[in-house]
Structure formats: structure tokens, C-alpha cells
């Protein structure tokens, strides 16, 4: 079972970080980053299969593929930036974390602009 693995890694890492926090805070930070990366990787493989299934589903009902790819890209950006921001926040660097989130927001907006313009064009054409 995957979940036992992940929870085990998480608990062990938590105990280690708590033990080390007073003596060597920098090493406890590294442990937490590495744990985050490991869990992220373990879950990302599962996420890929889920996304693949969604893609196949979308193709079956003949949805426009642009929407799907855009949404998936946005979700990916949100996840990665969230991960980075959380790692930074764990280390006590709230400022850097908010910058990472800011970058993620901008990239999401860049992806959204074409959809926005298409919608606007559509509405303009719809007007008599």
C-alpha cells in the first residue's frame, strides 16, 4: 500500500526534524525539503495516471483539447508553485514563498489571457 509508505516517511521525517530542530536547524530544514520532494515524486506518478485518464475521457466526449491542456497546465503550475512556496514557508522565509506564489499567479494569468480574448471575441461576434 502506497499510503503506508508515504505516511511512514512523513512520520519518520517529522520525528527527525523535531529531534534535530534545536541542535541543527539547518539540517532539519534539509530533511523536511527532501521529505517533501520524495512524497511529491511518489504522488506525482499517481497523478500522471489520473491526468492521463482524464485526457482520454475528454477525447471520448469530443471536448475541445485546448481547454483540457490549459486546465491541466494551470493545475500543474499551481501544484509546483504551491510546493515550492510551502517549502520556503517551512524554512521561515515567508517573503520568498509569496514571491514564488506571485510567479505562479503570473504564469497562470499568461495561460488565461488567450481564453479571455477568445471569449471577448465570441461575445463581440454574438452582438448583432
Partner 1 sequence: MINFLRSWILNIVSVVIFITIVELILPNSSMKKYIKMIVGLLVMLVIINPILDLMHGKVKLEEDIFRTSSAIHKQELVLNLNHFKGTQQKQIISVYKGNIEKYIKDQIEFNNKIRVLSIDSSIEENVESKEFGNIKELAIVLSNSENNLSKKGIQPVSNVVININENRENDNIEKNENILKAIKEHISKYYSLDKDKININIQKTEK
Q: Is residue 104 a contact residue for partner 1 (CB under 8 A)?
A: yes
Between CA 84 and CA 71 the distance in angstroms is 20
Q: Which of 21, 23, 81, 100 is in the footprint of partner 1 by CB under 8 A? A: 81
Between CA 28 and CA 10 the distance in angstroms is 13
Pick between residue 76 and residue 92 the one whose CB is nearest to partner 1. Answer: 76
Q: Is residue 66 a contact residue for partner 1 (CB under 8 A)?
A: yes
CB of 20 to partner 1, least distance (A): 27
Q: Which of 34, 65, 92, 94 is in the footprint of partner 1 by CB under 8 A? A: 65
Q: Which of 82, 91, 96, 99 is in the footprint of partner 1 by CB under 8 A? A: 82
Half-sphere exposure at residue 120, Cβ-oriented, CA atoms within 13 angstroms: 6
Half-sphere exposure at residue 11, Cβ-oriented, CA atoms within 13 angstroms: 6
31 phi, psi to nearest 5 deg: -60, -40
Closest CA to 70 of 37, 36, 119: 119
Q: Which residues bind partner 1 (CB under 8 A)?
A: 47, 50, 54, 57-58, 61-68, 70-72, 74-75, 78-79, 81-82, 85, 101, 104-105, 108-119, 121-123, 125-126
Amino acid at each position: 500500500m502506497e499510503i503506508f509508505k508515504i505516511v511512514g516517511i512523513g512520520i519518520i521525517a517529522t520525528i527527525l526534524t523535531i529531534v534535530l530542530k534545536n541542535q541543527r536547524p539547518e539540517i532539519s530544514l534539509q530533511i523536511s525539503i527532501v521529505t517533501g520532494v520524495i512524497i511529491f515524486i511518489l504522488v506525482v506518478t499517481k497523478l500522471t495516471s489520473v491526468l492521463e485518464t482524464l485526457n482520454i475521457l475528454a477525447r471520448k466526449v469530443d471536448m475541445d483539447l485546448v481547454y483540457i491542456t490549459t486546465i491541466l497546465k494551470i493545475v500543474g503550475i499551481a501544484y509546483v508553485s504551491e510546493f515550492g512556496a510551502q517549502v520556503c514557508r517551512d524554512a521561515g522565509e515567508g517573503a520568498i514563498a509569496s514571491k514564488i506564489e506571485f510567479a505562479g499567479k503570473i504564469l497562470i494569468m499568461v495561460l488565461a489571457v488567450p481564453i479571455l480574448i477568445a471569449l471577448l471575441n465570441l461575445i463581440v461576434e454574438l452582438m448583432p
